[in-house]
A and B are shown apart, each in its own frame.
Chain A
Amino acid sequence: MKKCEAFIIGGSAGSLDVLLKVLPLINAAIKFPIVIVIHRKHGTDSLLPELLSSRTQLNVKEVEEKEALVAGTIYIAPSDYHLLIEQDRTFSLDYSEKINYSRPAIDATFQTAAEVYKDKLVCILLSGSNSDGVNGLKSVKLWGGVALIQDPTTAQVAYMPAQAQANVKIDDALSIEAIAEFINLLP
């Protein structure tokens, strides 16, 4: 990869733990934005941005609609909306039907990002108990990006990354420590 312009993390059950371990290890000087789409219950204001913010020196924020993606920022998908990325590299939100019983659906973010960032995109699918994100990873490959998974043997719930492994030509399966290392070495 010549240059990474966006790194997107999708996860479900068992992925919060991974984020809490990976974020403190990420170099504060990264030159691309990180977007996190994890399934969580829709309810009152979430504490997730605050929780993750306490683990990293990078700026962590929940996405606001029409906001431009900026390097060195960690964006978190709001609950109960699909998070899409537009050609002008801004976020948009969408309240259409759930996909794979999920909103936000990892597929929606991976697929729209794939068309925007093409071969400058890296997406990773973490622990989870459904197959959301698998079609998204297929799109990432179709458009020339890099598709990663958390090594299913290290995942609390192996189903999601294992589904990706079985259905997509993924580029690598990484342990928790290797995920941070991979991010820090991206150009």
Chain B
Amino acid sequence: MELSVINDDHVEILLSDLLEQYGYDFTGYSRASLKRRIIRLYSLDRALSFAEFRYKINNDSLYFKRFVEQITVNVTEMFRDPAFFKTLRDVVLPKLGTYPFIRIWLAGCSTGEEAYSISIILKELNLLHKSLIYATDLNPIVLEKAAQGMFGMSNMKQYSENYILSGGLKDFSSYYTANYSLAKFDDELKSKIIFSTHNLVSDYSFNEFQLILCRNVLIYFDRELQQKVLSLFDESLEELGYLALGTKETINFSGISDKYKRLDSEKIWRKVLR
């Protein structure tokens, strides 16, 4: 991969095009990752020149959708970081189980693997019937995939191991039906998931939740945008609600940190009364 086909100026030009042409604001994204994604797509799609690449993004709305899907990272797993999901299962969700109704926001849900993981835990805790998971992403294409509830069979061995490590006691394969190369997850699991577009950069708070999960999304944002998004989560979280971030993410540098108390082991914070 030649790194100089797209330079830093090209990246800035594309970002301002996206903002003007489509209203998508990526200017608060960390540049190194974004640039690598753009170069990857440029060579994957065998673009002839920067001018041609830029023209296509600006004038072909289908290609624009592909562009947004490809420059954002959509790598995810079921029960990724099993210890995190074990804490959800053993500590957080039982606490929320005492509420009459549980509202969960999974921000940046990508292709839905975590949404189904949470749904499985809720079902096993007998809480699914009174829960609602709002799974959002800025990207309509990944949401369509998420709503299908079908994941590659080749991943099931890994997911099953993660599930067991996260405290799951059932036979993981009881949750899906094998269909050639795909595992189709039970419809019951998605009956309480609402998949919807929401852009953390530009959209507002849309409800109050007891649990907000946003894992490995903030790493792609600069500090300023991280701060803005954390404030959005703070506005959207009830008192005593929980905020869960990725393994390497933190609220420590943000203005909301003094309202939150971190759980011992995982990157989960509880909004405490002041």
Contacts and interface: CB of A to CB of B under 8 A. Distances in A.
B8 interface: yes
Interface in B206-227: 216, 219-220, 222-223, 226
Nearest to A98: B75
A93 B248 contact: yes
A181 interface: no
B3 A85 contact: no
Given A86-B32, A92-B32, A95-B75, A142 B1 contact: no
A187 to B, nearest CB: 26
B36 interface: yes
A133 to B, nearest CB: 14
A3 interface: no
A139 interface: yes
A74 B250 CA distance: 21
Interface in A78-111: 78, 81-82, 84-87, 92-97, 108, 111
B59 interface: no
A81 B248 contact: yes
A44 B32 contact: no
Interface residues of B, number: 25
Contacts of A111: 3, 36
Contacts of B1: 135
Nearest to A112: B32
Interface in A41-72: 44, 64-66
A143 B250 CA distance: 34
B25 interface: no
B33 A92 contact: yes
A93 B219 contact: yes
A86 B222 CA distance: 10
A84 B75 contact: no
A135 B248 CA distance: 27
Contacts of A96: 33, 36-37, 73, 75
Contacts of B249: 65
Nearest to B4: A142
Question: Which of A82, A93, A139, A142 gathers most chain B CB within 10 Å?
Answer: A93
18 contacts: A44-B83, A65-B248, A66-B222, A66-B223, A66-B226, A66-B253, A78-B247, A81-B248, A86-B32, A92-B33, A92-B219, A93-B248, A94-B33, A94-B219, A95-B246, A108-B36, A111-B3, A112-B36
